[in-house]
């Protein structure tokens, strides 16, 4: 049985999840956290890199949806509107309800759904509870404050395992599905 707090893999940034890579993992729906996964908390507009990444995935037939715990609907709406993708705000991760609801909107199933995010106790736990593939990323904010440093340090035991697994996967030494 998989650990509920261990992501499958840890990436430096979301752009590593290319369309080809996700297809290899049979992902048809990618649920994506917003804050510190795609953008800093105050950011309203996506970067060119994020735009290009979302375009690549959607053109390849992979559906992308933002699932954010952010309680500021105006900002999430503006950001996703700019990207032209749907979203669920105030998603309540790690609760399963709104994540499963999001999945059903696309007629997807847990086995072909993945969730990518920066936080173990919301994104990873939420994905695990729903039976989704779970990808974790390093936060875009880095460890820029004592608060962030402490918060991510507490997650290190789970992050380190997933980073090692990704390293082995990249080296062709293991396959994670």
Residue ranges binding Mg ion (CB under 5 A): 33, 35-37, 118-119
Residue 121 sits at the vertex; the CA angle it makes with 45 and 3, to the nearest 5 degrees, is 130
Angle at 100 between CA 94 and CA 102, to 5 degrees: 105
Q: Which two tokens stand for residue 74?
A: 């105006």
Please, which residue, 16 or 169, has the CB nearer to Mg ion? 16
Residue 70 CB, nearest approach to Mg ion (Å): 9
Half-sphere exposure of residue 125, counting CA atoms within 13 Å on the CB side?
A: 10
Q: Which is nearer to Mg ion, 26 or 156 (CB)?
A: 156
Question: In the bound complex, what is the minimum distance in angstroms from residue 4's beta carbon to Mg ion?
Answer: 18
User: With contact defined as beta carbons under 8 Å apart, do 124 and 33 qualify?
Assistant: no
Identity of the residue, 8 or 33, whose beta carbon is nearer to Mg ion in the bound complex: 33
Minimal distance in Å, beta carbon 24 to Mg ion? Answer: 25
């Amino acid at each position: 049985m998989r650990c509920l707090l261990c992501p499958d893999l840890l990436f430096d940034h979301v752009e590593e999840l290319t369309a080809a890579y996700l297809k290899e993992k049979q992902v048809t729906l990618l649920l994506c956290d917003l804050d510190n996964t795609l953008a800093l908390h105050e950011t309203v507009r996506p970067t060119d890199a994020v735009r290009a990444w979302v375009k690549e995935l959607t053109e390849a037939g992979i559906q992308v949806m933002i699932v954010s715990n952010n309680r500021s609907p105006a900002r999430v709406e503006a950001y996703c509107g700019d990207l032209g993708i749907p979203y669920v705000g105030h998603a309540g991760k790690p609760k399963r309800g709104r994540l499963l609801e999001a999945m059903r909107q696309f007629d997807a199933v847990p086995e072909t759904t993945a969730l990518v995010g920066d936080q173990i106790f919301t994104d990873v736990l939420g994905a695990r509870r729903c039976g989704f593939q779970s990808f974790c990323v390093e936060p875009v904010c880095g460890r820029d404050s004592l608060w962030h440093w402490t918060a991510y340090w507490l997650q290190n035991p789970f992050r380190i395992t997933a980073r090692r697994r990704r390293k082995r996967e990249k080296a062709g030494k293991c396959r994670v599905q």
